[in-house]
Structure 1
Amino acid sequence: MLASTVDLHMHSTASDGRLSPATVVQRAAEAGVELMSLTDHDTLDGVVEARKAAADAGIRCLPGIELSARWARGVVHIVGLGVDVDNRCLQDGVAAQQRARLARARQIVTRLERAGIEDLEGRLAAMVGGGVPGRAHVARCLVEAGHARDIQQAFDRFLQRGRPGYAPVSWASIDAVVDWIGQAGGIAVFAHPLRYRISRGALRAAISAFVEAGGTAIEVSNAGGGRDDLAAAAALARRFTLKASMGSDFHDPDFPWIQIGRLAPLPRDLTPVWEDLGGVQ
């Protein structure tokens, strides 16, 4: 399988994406993707719909998830590919993550309402229905209500550390998250390594902790990165002897710089993670 037909990181309305799982799959098929994974944040809710849509479209969709993980100096994201969505260990872990997300959302709403933002709870409820809101949902509500011009400004003004809507959350550890993925028969992938606002030394320490926990792959090709990001991520894959993955991290069709399937090919000396995923070649 050619790398140009692979996208193993994307999001839907099951978490903080703007399109339904089926619509995400449709866009992937239209982009020429043959192997994809829907990897919503801390939830498996969109997997069944996505896999059915993929079967109808004639493409392959691996069951996936993106899990938030705590380490000594902050939070990183771990993608699980090829997981058994019925695995009890993974389900219990996801349930705990959802409880943490809900607790944070409630804190954010309380703090922003104290800061003078009105009717945020009602706006969030209308946006997510019965789902668990994430910070991106809050940011969209702030934009819609005229408190910020765009998502980035909403984060910068209200949701980042030190701002009025910031609320900490106690995620599971890297060790626990990697274990859940392994227990569910999946492959743990260190997501978008160049997007964390940490030093290169801290990044290497986080990846080292991931490897010690049993993680075996890293995202090398992402959409929307800088010119040197692919080379830097590939160097990390070589340094830690990790398999290479690729994914757009698609959320929103209105963000043209991050679109499904629009990915640079992997360096030829790296081993693609999909070689270990159900015999895909």
Structure 2
Amino acid sequence: MVSGQRFEGPSDLHLHSVVSDGTETPAAVIAAAHAHGLRTVALTDHDTTSGWAEAAEAATSLGMTFLPGMELSARHEWRSVHVLAYLVDPDDADLRAMTERIRASRLTRAQVMAERIGRDYDLTWDDIVAQTAAGTTVGRPHIADALVARGYVRDRTEAFAGILSPRSDYYVALFAPDPVTAVTLVAGAGGVPIIAHPAGRAGVLPRALLDRMLGAGLAGFELAHRENTEEGVRILGRLVADHDLIVTGSSDYHGLGKPNVPGENTTSDEMVARIIARATGSAPVYP
């Protein structure tokens, strides 16, 4: 990795591959981003850095800058909180231990959910594994894909709204740390923690919790995202102004897993530069 070089925008810092719940390889994700005019990208698969090497090689071959990233799972009471972790040290012992624990929980959870669903639907564990690639941690999106393949639902959206919904009898909760712990782990690994889609339908996190996260090293918010509400963005915008926080915009691209398109939201050059300057865990990969 080379530091001190100039990156180029436009930049999309939230992309997923088949390593977690996307439908394309890391190299294919980067190629899709390039085809949509992006020049700086981050691969942010859930709770893993295993796609970094392939994505970095693909990016540099296309003349793009690659920011290593990850989306760390967290939970506050009943709701999921996703912490984008940019430029962390992938070998940090505490962060690695947490991601391994989350991935193990995700696999166990998927197995239990598959067993429950199989009592009412003709769906087997083999059907679900068939929807994954080598090295992928099986999760709810892959159960959804198996349900689509079996013809029980039209797409992932319908699966998550029904059979795989938290309100469903088939649902099993995923282990995840609280958001303050997640931010602390990312910052401790030299990374830059940004809350993904922080103003969605579930609403903005309580101010007291946000203050604790800021105290733990939270760097900012992904405010340009299709799931955010205008009111939530306004609320968080005031917090950004008060604390001079980093603001990002991203697509949250998942290939065929979601309708999101690379580059539908982007991050300004100024904010990308602030992320790079703040990080100490790893460095961008320049072409």
**CA RMSD, 1 decimal:** 2.7
2:125 to 121, 124, 143: 121
Are the structure 2 counterparts of residues 109 and 247 from structure 1 closer, same or farther at C-alpha, using a change threshold of 3 Å?
same
Say if 1:187 and 1:216, in contact at 8 Å, map to a contact too: yes
Corresponding residue of 2:281: none
Corresponding residue of 1:81: 86
Say if 2:16 and 2:254, in contact at 8 Å, map to a contact too: yes
Corresponding residue of 2:25: 20
Q: Distance in 1 between matches of 2:185 and 2:240?
A: 22
Say if 1:220 and 1:237, in contact at 8 Å, map to a contact too: no
Q: Following superposition of structure 1 onto structure 2, how do residues 59-98 of structure 1 map, counting pairs within 5 Å?
A: 59-98=64-103
Residue ranges of structure 1 left out of the alignment (5+ in a row): none
Q: What is the TM-score of this pair, normalised by structure 1? A: 0.86
Q: Distance in 2 between matches of 1:97 and 1:60?
A: 29
Q: Following superposition of structure 1 onto structure 2, how do residues 145-184 of structure 1 map, counting pairs within 5 Å?
A: 145-184=150-189
Query: Percent identity over the alignment?
Result: 29
Are the structure 2 counterparts of residues 240 and 166 from structure 1 closer, same or farther at C-alpha, using a change threshold of 3 Å?
farther
Count of residue correspondences: 273
Corresponding residue of 1:185: 190
Q: Which has the higher contact order (CA 8 A, sep 6+)?
A: 2
| 1:99 maps to 2:104 | yes
1:32 to 7, 30, 37: 37
Are the structure 2 counterparts of residues 240 and 170 from structure 1 closer, same or farther at C-alpha, using a change threshold of 3 Å?
farther
Once the two structures are TM-superposed, the CA of residue 183 in structure 1 deviates from its matched residue by 2.4
Once the two structures are TM-superposed, the CA of residue 122 in structure 1 deviates from its matched residue by 0.9
Say if 2:132 and 2:138, in contact at 8 Å, map to a contact too: yes
Q: Distance in 1 between matches of 2:57 and 2:66?
A: 9
Once the two structures are TM-superposed, the CA of residue 9 in structure 1 deviates from its matched residue by 0.6
Moved more, 163-172 or 67-76: 67-76
Which amino acid counterpart does residue 207 of structure 1 have in structure 2? L
Deviations 1:207-263 (A, max 9, x none): 33422332111112124656677555534423554211221100024744x111122
Once the two structures are TM-superposed, the CA of residue 49 in structure 1 deviates from its matched residue by 0.6
Are the structure 2 counterparts of residues 124 and 205 from structure 1 closer, same or farther at C-alpha, using a change threshold of 3 Å?
farther
Query: Secondary structure at 1:159's aligned position in 2?
Result: coil
Are the structure 2 counterparts of residues 144 and 44 from structure 1 closer, same or farther at C-alpha, using a change threshold of 3 Å?
same
Once the two structures are TM-superposed, the CA of residue 127 in structure 1 deviates from its matched residue by 1.4
Corresponding residue of 1:262: 264
Once the two structures are TM-superposed, the CA of residue 48 in structure 1 deviates from its matched residue by 1.0
| 1:272 maps to 2:275 | no
Q: Distance in 1 between matches of 2:220 and 2:8?
A: 15
Which amino acid counterpart does residue 261 of structure 2 have in structure 1? Q
Residue ranges of structure 2 left out of the alignment (5+ in a row): 1-5, 279-283
Say if 1:190 and 1:217, in contact at 8 Å, map to a contact too: yes
Q: Distance in 2 between matches of 1:80 and 1:265?
A: 15
Corresponding residue of 1:251: 254
Q: Distance in 2 between matches of 1:209 and 1:16?
A: 30
Once the two structures are TM-superposed, the CA of residue 86 in structure 1 deviates from its matched residue by 2.5
Are the structure 2 counterparts of residues 221 and 199 from structure 1 closer, same or farther at C-alpha, using a change threshold of 3 Å?
closer
| 1:212 maps to 2:211 | no
Deviations 1:108-167 (A, max 9, x none): 1111112x1223311111111442112111111111111112221111111112213211
